[in-house]
Amino acid sequence: MYRKIIPLMILFSLLLVACGGPSQEYEAGQVLLTESFNESAAWETFVTDDIDFQVDDGAYRAQTGDGGYVWGLNETVHENVVIEVTSTQDSSFDNNAYGVMCRSDVSNNGDGYYFLISGDGYYSISKGEGEDVNQLVEWTSSSAINEGQASNTIRAVCVGNYLALYVNDKFLAEIEDSDYSSGYAGFAAAAFDGGSTDIQFDDLTITAASIAGE
């Protein structure tokens, strides 16, 4: 099941400025899931008149308008993981947001952490809380993101209270937040200002992880 929540533009004071490399390194462990989306049952499906989230032609396709964030989840609980996926924007409208979720609430209410990029080259780490998606890391532009109808590899690090975002193997942002410790992995997408978005996710890997040296 999918529900919509409206983005609330708030910058929290816990921001760790992403200048140079990350403040913490992680160690990858056991591979928990690899998914190429060749089976229709590989991920959650939800289709309405203006939303279409489902496995389609070897990828997970997320199509939605400007009604707020929409997400689809994998119903396996994870705690400390690295999630990596290749995303491809098929739509021409760039005022959007899309990416991966970690520690999404098992009730499917939209709570959890969002690792997002946009078609015009911005990124954010955000947190779903009730009816809002609040920015933990403010939307910031990066030349590491391929803009428009292009592909990007998104990597989300969720280890303990440490969250980090990499795009195309480049570290972009990190934050500490301890509100959510476990939950589902997922994909999220939204469009703004009357537009729509169409994103494909493919070649997903979820790996157990820990902070190096701990």
| CATH at residue 22 | 2.60.120.560
pLDDT tens, 14-72?
A: 344 445 799 999 999 999 999 999 988 889 998 998 999 999 999 999 999 988 999 99
Let me know if residue 15 belongs to a domain: yes
Q: Retrieve residue 110's tokens.
A: 């939209």
Beta strands 183-191; 96-104: pairing state: antiparallel
Contacts 24+ apart (CB under 8 A), 165-169: 165/115, 165/123, 165/125, 165/137, 167/117, 167/123, 167/142, 168/144
Count of domains for the chain: 1
Q: Is residue 1 part of a domain?
A: no
Domain ranges, residue 118: 6-211
- 123-146: pLDDT as tens digits: 999 999 988 999 999 999 999 999
Measuring CA to CA, which residue among 160, 125, 132 is closest to residue 5? 132
Side chain identity, residue 39: E
Give yes or no for a contact between 64 and 189, defined as CB atoms under 8 angstroms apart. Answer: yes
Average of per-residue pLDDT across 102-114: 96
**Residue 42: strand, helix, or coil:** helix
Specify if 163 maps to a domain.
yes
Higher pLDDT, 16 or 94: 94
Residue 203 — very low, low, confident or very high, per pLDDT cuts 50/70/90?
Answer: very high
Q: What is the pTM of this model?
A: 0.92
